[in-house]
């Protein structure tokens, strides 16, 4: 018996002892089916083969969907954990100024945004020393600014959270850093009856970090916690 025959016999014995190695190999099965179709000739239509091809295509689509769902679930879990960590860090300070400094520092780092700005509407014209000390994260604006900025001048129902991409940021919000901002999240803040609204703006140099197609549930939760914390300081 030749060496080639011995190799063929060994392969044959391996397949007979473990036929699942063929059945579980997609490429081998496709090669066997193709060989069978060639053996039948061109005048015969193999409906079973056509059905198998369609089932394989459907299985591939289901597997892609399955992977997408799992990836989305992991991403959502990671986002939830990120928001929870930011909320816990935000609630640590017991004084107002450290509270806002942390907002533009460690909280921004946890949320992985480049800049966070808090805008408070006020009817007062006098300069407040607190605003001067917190100028890196806090700014004041005249009444009506929040509605105009978030709505971009359109008369439409305002959502609590607005995500959008930008050519550049607004200088009234980001100052000299505005030219680097390519996307932002705007969180409208309600400080309770008799108080003017506020706005929390998260800016990113990544144009894809905040887009209108993204969900806003987690940011809505963060904004709700933040405005309740602010009510305590404004009381």
34 DSSP assignment: H
The residue with greater pLDDT, 127 or 25, is 25
Q: Which of 123, 176, 171, 180 is nearest to 149 (CA)?
A: 171
pLDDT of residue 1: 44
Under the banding of pLDDT at 50, 70 and 90, the label for residue 42 is low
What mean pLDDT do residues 60-65 have?
Answer: 80
| Model pTM score | 0.68
pLDDT of residue 3: 44
Complete edge-to-edge strand list for the sheet that includes strand 183-189: 138-141, 115-121, 198-204, 183-189, 161-165
Mean pLDDT score of the chain, rounded to an integer?
A: 81
Q: Which of 120, 83, 80 is nearest to 100 (CA)?
A: 120
Percent of all residues in the chain with a pLDDT value above 90, rounded to a whole number? 27
Distance from C-alpha of 108 to C-alpha of 179, rounded to nearest angstrom: 19
- For residue 108, pLDDT beyond 70: yes
Q: What is the pLDDT of residues 123-158, one digit of tens each?
A: 876 566 666 677 788 888 889 899 889 887 666 556
Q: How many CB atoms lie within 10 A of CB 135?
A: 10
Give all domains of the chain, ordered by start, each with its CATH number: 3-63 (no CATH), 69-234 (3.30.450.40)
Q: Which of 142, 137, 138, 111 is nearest to 125 (CA)?
A: 142
130 DSSP assignment: H
Q: What is the pLDDT of residues 66-83, one digit of tens each?
A: 787 777 777 778 888 999
Helix/strand number for the chain, H first, E second: 10, 5
With beta carbons less than 8 A apart as the criterion, state whether 138 and 131 touch: yes
pLDDT of residue 76: 77
Q: What is the pLDDT of residues 1-14, one digit of tens each?
A: 444 445 577 777 77
What mean pLDDT do residues 180-198 have?
Answer: 91
pLDDT of residue 202: 95
Backbone angles phi, psi at 117, to 5 degrees: -130, 135
């Amino acid at each position: 018996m030749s060496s080639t025959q011995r190799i063929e016999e060994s392969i044959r014995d391996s397949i007979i002892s473990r036929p699942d190695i063929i059945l579980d190999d997609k490429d081998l099965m496709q090669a066997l089916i193709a060989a069978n179709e060639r053996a039948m000739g061109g005048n015969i239509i193999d409906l079973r083969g056509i059905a198998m091809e369609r089932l394989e295509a459907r299985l591939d689509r289901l597997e892609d969907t399955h992977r997408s769902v799992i990836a989305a679930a992991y991403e959502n879990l990671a986002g939830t954990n990120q928001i929870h960590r930011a909320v816990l860090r935000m609630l640590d300070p017991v004084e107002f100024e450290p509270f806002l400094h942390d907002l533009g520092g460690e909280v921004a780092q946890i949320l992985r945004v480049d800049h966070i700005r808090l805008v408070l509407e006020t009817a007062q014209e006098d300069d407040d020393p607190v605003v001067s000390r917190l100028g890196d994260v806090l700014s004041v604006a005249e009444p009506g600014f929040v509605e105009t900025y978030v709505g971009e001048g359109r008369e439409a129902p305002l959502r609590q959270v607005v995500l959008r991409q930008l050519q550049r940021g607004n200088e009234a919000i980001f100052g000299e850093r505005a030219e680097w901002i390519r996307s932002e999240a705007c969180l409208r803040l309600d400080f309770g009856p008799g108080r003017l609204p506020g706005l929390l703006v998260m800016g990113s140099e990544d144009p894809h970090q905040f887009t209108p197609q993204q969900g806003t549930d987690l940011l809505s939760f963060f904004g709700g916690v933040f405005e309740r914390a602010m009510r305590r300081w404004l009381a």
